[in-house]
């Protein structure tokens, strides 16, 4: 059954894209439901948070360079291959996030919850990772060169192949 999708012309804001996606979601069988959105440009952080609030979790390849996302509650978000350098994630909940092959160079993740996050192949060089919770996180082949991991919790974190050159490791808590 083909149902025409009607897009109201009077909606000319960022919310119009979310409205269209919600209409499409209603048409899909629940077993086929995966919606992705790429955000970039001005107000990219607000676009991402708005779409996340509407139930969208996949933002592959998004460009959020220098965005402000402090204190955001965005667990299980998918930001694979995203450009997140110098983003402020201070005290953000990114538990279970998928951040594979993401550029987080110089990002501030101080106090963030990254429990179970996947950073396979990610660039975390020069990042502030002070006091973060990386319990059960995957950091296969991640670059943490010259980052600050002071006070981080690394219980059950997998750092196989990670570049730890120049990492500051004061008061790290781990079980290895």
pLDDT in tens, 93-112: 999 999 999 999 999 999 99
Burial class (CB in 10 A: 0-12, 13-18, 19+), 31: exposed
pLDDT for residue 30 is more than 70: no
pTM above 0.85, yes or no: no
Confidence at residue 174, expressed as pLDDT on a 0 to 100 scale: 77
In tens, the pLDDT along 124-156 reads 999 999 999 999 999 999 999 999 999 999 999
Instruction: Provide long-range contacts, Cβ within 8 A and 24+ apart, for 118-121.
Output: none
List the structure tokens of 161: 């192949």
Contact 66, 45 (CB under 8 A): no
pLDDT at 149 (0 to 100): 96
* List of residues 6+ apart from 28 with CB closer than 8 A: none
**Phi, psi (rounded to 5 degrees) for 77:** -75, 150
Domains of the chain with bracketed CATH: 59-176 (2.160.20.80)
User: How far is 149 from 110, CA to CA, in rounded Å?
Assistant: 9
> Torsion-angle region of residue 123: left (phi > 0), alpha (psi -120 to 50) or beta?
beta
CA distance to 5, 8, 146, 162, per residue, from 35 (Å)? 16, 21, 36, 31
Question: What are the φ/ψ torsions at residue 18 (nearest 5 degrees)?
Answer: -65, -40
Residue-wise pLDDT tens digits, 37-88: 677 767 889 999 999 999 999 999 999 999 999 999 999 999 999 999 999 9
């Amino acid at each position: 059954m083909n149902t025409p999708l009607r897009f109201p012309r009077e909606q000319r804001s960022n919310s119009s894209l979310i409205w269209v996606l919600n209409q499409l979601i209603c048409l899909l069988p629940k077993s086929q439901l995966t919606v992705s959105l790429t955000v970039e440009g001005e107000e990219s952080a607000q676009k991402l948070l708005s779409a996340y609030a509407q139930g969208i979790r996949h933002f592959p390849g998004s460009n959020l360079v220098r965005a402000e996302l402090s204190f955001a509650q965005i667990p299980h978000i998918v930001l694979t291959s995203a450009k997140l350098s110098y983003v402020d994630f201070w005290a953000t909940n990114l538990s279970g996030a998928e951040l594979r092959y993401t550029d987080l160079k110089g990002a501030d993740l101080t106090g963030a919850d990254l429990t179970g996050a996947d950073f396979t192949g990610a660039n975390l060089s020069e990042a502030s990772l002070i006091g973060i919770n990386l319990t059960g996180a995957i950091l296969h082949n991640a670059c943490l060169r010259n980052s600050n991991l002071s006070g981080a919790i690394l219980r059950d974190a997998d750092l196989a192949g990670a570049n730890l050159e120049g990492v500051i490791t004061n008061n790290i808590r781990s079980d290895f």
